[in-house]
Amino acid sequence: MYGGFPLHCAAFNGHYAVARLLIENGAVVCAATESGATPLHIAAGNAHYAVAGLLIENGAVVCAAAESGSTPLHWATWADDGAMYVVRMLIANGADVSAADDIGRTPVHEAAASGLQSAARLLIENGANVDALDRWGQTPMQVAIHNGQYVLVQILRDWSKPSAGDT
Domains of the chain: 1-96 (1.25.40.20), 107-167 (1.25.40.20)
Q: Is the pTM of this model over 0.85?
A: yes
- Asked whether the predicted pLDDT for residue 38 surpasses 90, the reply is yes
**Which of residues 112 and 80 earns the better pLDDT score?**
112
- The pLDDT confidence band at residue 3, using thresholds 50, 70 and 90, is low
Residue 124's Cβ-side half-sphere holds a number of Cα atoms within 13 Å equal to 23
Percent of the chain scored above 90 by pLDDT?
Answer: 86
Distance CA 159, CA 131 (A): 9
Mean pLDDT of the chain: 92
- Asked whether the predicted pLDDT for residue 166 surpasses 90, the reply is no
pLDDT tens-digit map of 74-96 = 999 987 766 889 999 999 999 99
Structure confidence at residue 81 (pLDDT): 66
pLDDT tens-digit map of 126-147 = 999 999 999 999 999 999 999 9
Cα 49–Cα 1–Cα 111 angle in degrees, nearest 5 = 45
Please spell the DSSP secondary structure of the chain, one letter per residue. Answer: -TT--HHHHHHHHT-HHHHHHHHHTT--TT---TT---HHHHHHHTT-HHHHHHHHHTT--TT---TTS--HHHHHTTS-GGGHHHHHHHHHTT--TT---TTS--HHHHHHHHT-HHHHHHHHHTT--TT---TTS--HHHHHHHTT-HHHHHHHHHHSPP-GGG-
Distance CA 34, CA 5 (A): 11
Percent of the chain scored above 70 by pLDDT?
Answer: 92
